Structure 1
Amino acid sequence: MSASQTRLDLRIDVFEEENQWAKPLASLKPPELIAATLQEFRELEYLSGEADNYLLVKKEDMAPLDPEEPLQKQLANEAHLVLWEKERPLPNGAKRPSHPLYLRDQAAGRVFKLDWIPAIIGRPDPNQPHDDWLAVNLEAYPTGLRVSRRHAQITEKDGRYFINSLSRNPAILKKADGGETDIGEKPVPLDNGDTVFLERSNISLKFIVRDA
């Protein structure tokens, strides 16, 4: 077998899916293995599908792999890796949520990670206060201009999550149990599996809480 066809036996922890065996080409670079892993585990709703959002680290010491070097130069056979999610820098006045949080676009499958709380849903506007709290930027969507710059925000209190409106642009909270309620100025509980529906833009965002 030529060197370019040599494969490695690797174990990868993909969040709760631990000890997953993979047999990648040794010549692959880490971003290529990440992309293949995301494709393989696409049934995990919180995976974004964008390799740039992740790192591969060695489980033994949590040292990240060099993205520019092939696997064969960095790993022994049967090495154990962990798929690690990158975090964006924390804006001033915000904090990390108690759990990893996501909003998943139900139509396109795009995943927005909520790296901080409060997390604003809307569009960027440098003239608005706390523009850096924008966690879900919908400006590029075909109907994005129907989304308010400050449409809604997600907050946390005593380990529970809430959502409230920041505009008069209608939004509906569709509960996982089938109930519905309008999202107004007063925060309402937001639970795992609930969907935030932005009515005028026809965008549905599923709220996902992942166990840390």
Structure 2
Amino acid sequence: MNNDEHYKITLISDLTMQSRLLKDSLERGLSLHVAMVTSDGLEQGGAQLGNLVLIDYHYLDDNKFEAYNQAKGECTHSVKEIVFNCPDEAPSSYLFKWRNLVGVFYVDDEVSILLKGMEKIMNDEMWLSRKVAQDYIEHFRCADVVTTSQTYTNLTKREKEIMRLLGHGASNMEIAEELFVSENTVKTHLHNIFKKINAKNRLQALLWANNNVALEERV
């Protein structure tokens, strides 16, 4: 777990036995407090969201989603969005409205899978199936032919290598093994890359690359 950053978790759901059990499991497994926010809390305004927000796939209708977005817009910090209870057959397109999506958990996922994925997310990785990640990238891909931006040109050779491996879906550990460096070195490079391209997470970096880096430089 990344001890350099203090995470606050918000669970957006109805106050049901299932949601309370989920809250308890997360708190025990992650040793962090989980605050629960209902749709009433969102619609009344003033809801305080943590920097990790878990949303029940079925919970936010259009009105609730608008209230959630307003609450998110009032945050002074960045918010990572995680969807749970997602049906296996759910189309990726339904997830595109989550602009800061970093994780998707499905209805049949055990709590152990949720805890494992949450720990990855808290270590600045993502928990998305390769299909969802690729569909998400394609959705935001610029329709026009992309030419390489000056910002990308100014990245170091090693930073460009890491961007290319990110595009292939490699994890931090896989990047480290490919480049024969430590995982901490990879994290340092990613931090520098994100700062240079104004990205908050790996997915935003990939979306940025699709709009700023010519295809032949990404393969």
> What's the TM-score, normalizing by structure 1?
0.29
Which has more helix, going by share of residues? 2
Higher strand share: 1
Rg bigger for which structure?
1
